[in-house]
Structure 1
Amino acid sequence: MLDNFPRGTICIEDIEMGMVRYLRKEITDKDIEMFAEVSTDHNPVHLDESYAQDTMFQGRIAHGMLTAGLISAVIGEQLPGHGTIYMSQSLKFLAPVRPGDLVLAEVEVTGIEIDKRRVKLDCRCMVEGKKVLVGEAMVMAPSRKFD
């Protein structure tokens, strides 16, 4: 991973509208193979180049949820960070991610309910400036009141 914000926690009391955090990660063959093992999703479009050549993608692609997992990493490690509880996530896959692609995963605060510790986040992943995934997350942020 390159060019990421430090890991940690931003408590609900310190979260502001428009706050953005991101990470960049190159998707490797090893990432795809490991995700296939952990998820038990061995669809050949992810793992078999000759099979994948005959699909609409004309080559291997990463699992969509591997890409979505980068959003989870930003949320769980940076914004709000450690102690965050996922409540919901919507996802729309716009384009494939291929082995070797450098993915920029980004979240932006679009709503805050301090009394409920809820934070609404706009989520997006991009490859070479093109959106490959968009969505929205609702999370419960940590609070200094519960340290």
Structure 2
Amino acid sequence: MEEETDMLDNLPRGTICIEDLEIGMVRHLRKVVTDRDIEMFAEVSTDHNPVHLDDAYAQDTIFEGRIAHGMLTAGLISAVIGEQLPGHGTVYLGQTLKFMAPVRPGDTVLAEVKVLSIDHHKRRVQLDTRCMVDGKVVLKGEATVLAPSAKFD
């Protein structure tokens, strides 16, 4: 069943405290973007742009078919940050995003987060963020987060 295999080979969820983070650490998840995901995102976000929901309309766009909301794809990065790296207790401070290519219903997205720098004094971590489909980068950016600490939690 598609929903049961929706998130393939995800790493364990939890928390990596700032004291245990290392530059170069990487975590990821894979997710098949389904029609249901797109419909649910449209409902929650109230973004009902027909390029996401209407096959006939989307065929006449530059994408020549329906695409997932860009922020749905970006949300997968949030999932990696909030669940794996650094994980539970992480606070988002900022995120840059550059959308490189569309994600279509049925695509398997690999969302990946990598530690670029760590400011232990301020508990701030700079992360490289990207999403790929079939090895092609579809979204890239950087995030700044406040990481949880074993000393302050």
> For 1:74-85, what aligned pairs fall within 5 Å after superposition?
74-85=80-91
Counterpart position of 1:134: 140
Match of 1:32 in 2: 38
Superposition deviation, residue 130 in structure 1: 0.2
Structure 2 residue 51 is the aligned partner of structure 1 residue 52: no
Structure 1, unaligned runs of 5 or more: none
Return the TM-score normalized by structure 2: 0.96
Paired residue secondary structure (2:121): helix
- The Cα of 1:133 is off from its aligned counterpart by 0.1
- CA-based RMSD: 0.3
CA-to-aligned-CA distance 1:53-85 (integer Å, 9 cap, x gap): 000000000000000000000000000000000
Aligned to 2:112: 106
Deviations 1:67-119 (A, max 9, x none): 00000000000000000000000000000000000000000000100010000
Look up the match of 2:73: 67
Counterpart of 1:110, as a letter, is L
Which one of the candidate residues 14, 35, 51 is aligned to 2:20?
Answer: 14
Between Structure 1 and Structure 2, the one with more helix by share is 1
- Structure 2: runs of 5+ lacking an equivalent: 1-6
> TM-score under structure 1 normalisation?
1.00
Provide the aligned length of Structure 1 versus Structure 2.
147
Q: Percent sequence identity over matched residues?
A: 79
2:4 is matched with none
**Corresponding residue of 2:49:** 43
Q: Which runs of 4+ in 1 moved over 6 A?
A: none
The aligned amino acid for 1:42 is H
